[in-house]
Amino acid sequence: MEARFDFFANPLAAKVLRHINSAGRAVTDSGLPHATQELVKIRASQINGCGFCTDMHTKDAAAAGETAVRLHLVAAWREATVFTEAERAALELTEQGTRIADAAGGVGDEAWAEAAKHYDEDQLAALISLIAVINAYNRINVINRQPAGGYRPGQFG
């Protein structure tokens, strides 16, 4: 499989990615736990069918010390006992925020209340922003058919 075109080498695309990357850095530097950030990125990427981002974030999470068991169970987090209540709330918000078009009411009040129980306002702002940013990355890579499998942890800095 090959990408449709070299998105990363295109000057306009590079300009867009700089802005998205800047937003991503703001989230990375927030008070939202890094393990939660990776779980959110992995789950949204799975839902969106983005192999490139799923590859990247599972490898980055593993390199940061995430266990193989937790990484393997992200797709089935509801049935897994290895996630904290806060992580489960973040994963639910991620699913509803990623599948926003599938629900007439968007993100439900119950999912929001559960997330608000575990995260302060800055962390909620980071969580909302992260869900939006990873969905943007996913869409770019899926539309471009960016191939997965060759990512090396830390490759992009």
Q: Are 141 and 20 in contact (CB under 8 A)?
A: no
Q: Decide if pLDDT at 103 tops 90.
A: no
Predicted TM-score of the model (pTM): 0.95
Per-residue pLDDT, 101: 85
For 36-49, what is the mean pLDDT? 98
pLDDT tens digits, residue range 50-88?
999 999 999 999 999 999 999 999 999 999 999 999 999
Give the pLDDT score at 102.
84
Compute the distance between CA of residue 19 and CA of residue 150 in angstroms, rounded to an integer. 24
Instruction: Give the helix ranges, DSSP H, for the chain.
Output: 11-28, 34-48, 51-63, 68-73, 85-98, 109-118, 121-144
Longest CA–CA span in the chain (Å) reads: 45
Question: Do 58 and 6 meet the contact criterion of CB atoms below 8 Å apart?
Answer: no
Per cent of the chain over pLDDT 70 is 99
Burial of 91 (0-12, 13-18, 19+ CB in 10 A): buried
